[in-house]
A = this chain, B = another copy of it.
Amino acid sequence: MRVAVFGGDGFVGWPTSLHLSNLGHDVTIVDNLSRRWVDTELGVQSLTPMDSIQERRRIWHQVSGREIGFEVINIAQEYDRTKQWLAGWRPEALIHLAEQRAAPYSMKSDRHKTYTVNNNVNATHNLLNAMVEVQLDAHLVHLGTMGVYGYSDVGATIPEGYLTVGLENDDGSVRKEEILYPANPGSVYHMTKCLDQLLLAFYAKNDGYRVTDLHQGEVWGTHTDQTRRHEQLINRLDYDGDYGTVLNRFLIQAAIGHPLTVHGTGGQTRAFIHIQDSVRCIEIALENPPDRGERPRIFNQMTETHRIRDLAELISRMTGAEVNLVPNPRKEAAENDLQVDNRQFLELGLDPILLESGLLEELIDVAGKYAQRIDIKRIPSTSAWTREIGKNIPKIVEFRKLSSRAF
């Protein structure tokens, strides 16, 4: 199948591209390399030394004998080029990961908020708009987030995208309807994924387009079977306060003897998935498109839920790392429960990789190997959700003092 991976140079995009290429699909990456620009902007680099996309593709060809195509297009800004490229290559499936994906980055300043909204909404809309325009009967698989549901306690399992509700009619009778789960985003980034849902639903309804939306949990791990095949195929691994996902951050902190930085009480419960399962889920979604005319098919792309402080304690027990409770820069419930339905992927054959395996140690090993590349000043999360909250977030220099206890 001709598969275009938009955002194929990113943390999930790169291993997805390798995974699909390895399965025999004809893969082209379309990426404006914005994530590398953000590295430059923030002055933080991936913990793992990451080659250029061109070099990565060369190595992949050498290792696998397979080619991955590459186009530099900013799909959010360059509608016409996006359209022309789609009209020419005519992919049969589009994997859309071409969005700014970090909640703290989206809350960093007004400029970052504007960028995130403008980039993410236009990227998604331009793809849909162009597909219709060039009459491309392809399946669009969009990477969303569990964060569209919000993290408040609701006393019920989070369903896969759609919620059955009872509604009162004017005559007093009650009817049941399935509605899109009410959006409850906790950051500008999460909000953009809620906007995406409405864009996807509209084009599925108006134009009969086949759309799948993957509500992904926090991704952990860095290696997949394909990135392990050569040192230069290594995936990026973010440890900083903006782009590092929570479990990866804890493991990296443990690897270098830094205290585990737990926001607030650590009472937040989140959903998790290993990067290997993430790429496997995308493969399954690709193989199971909805029919034309169906509403978007929504999967919860996660395999387990954990309370943050339980994770911190687990890793502390494994490694002896200290746990430090630090002020929470986010505006969120201090404590929440979370039960999530993920039956669709399980029924379609996903065999989940859970936390108990040796993968936690593997990641600590990777972190240890590249420990000299870590700038500990960049570990704290300093993007505050509001000005008021910002007053309680220690400055970088204080964190430095805090961290130095561990060295």
Is A294 interfacial (CB 8 A cutoff)?
no
Encode A100-139 as 1/0 by CB contact (under 8 A) with B.
0000000000100110011001100110011011010000
Is A168 interfacial (CB 8 A cutoff)?
yes
Smallest Cβ distance from A160 to chain B, in angstroms?
15
Smallest Cβ distance from A202 to chain B, in angstroms?
5
Given contacts A110-B133, A202-B188, A386-B207, contact A157 B174 (CB under 8 A): no
B202 touches A185 (CB 8 A): yes
B129 touches A387 (CB 8 A): no
A263-B369 Cα distance, complex, nearest whole Å: 69
Stretch at the interface among A42-50, A176-184, A229-237, A308-316: A176-184
In the bound complex, residues from chain B placing their C-beta under 8 Å from that of A199 are 117, 191, 195
A191-B203 Cα distance, complex, nearest whole Å: 10
Is A163 interfacial (CB 8 A cutoff)?
yes
Is A339 interfacial (CB 8 A cutoff)?
yes
Encode A194-210 as 1/0 by CB contact (under 8 A) with B.
11001101100011000
Given contacts A129-B114, A174-B166, contact A385 B179 (CB under 8 A): no
Other contacts beyond A117-B125, A155-B175, A187-B206: 13, CB < 8 A:
A79-B110, A110-B130, A113-B125, A113-B129, A114-B126, A121-B195, A156-B170, A165-B179, A170-B339, A180-B182, A191-B198, A191-B199, A195-B195
Partner of A169, one of B117, B155, B174: B155
A175-B284 Cα distance, complex, nearest whole Å: 35
In the bound complex, residues from chain B placing their C-beta under 8 Å from that of A174 are 166
In the bound complex, residues from chain B placing their C-beta under 8 Å from that of A346 are none
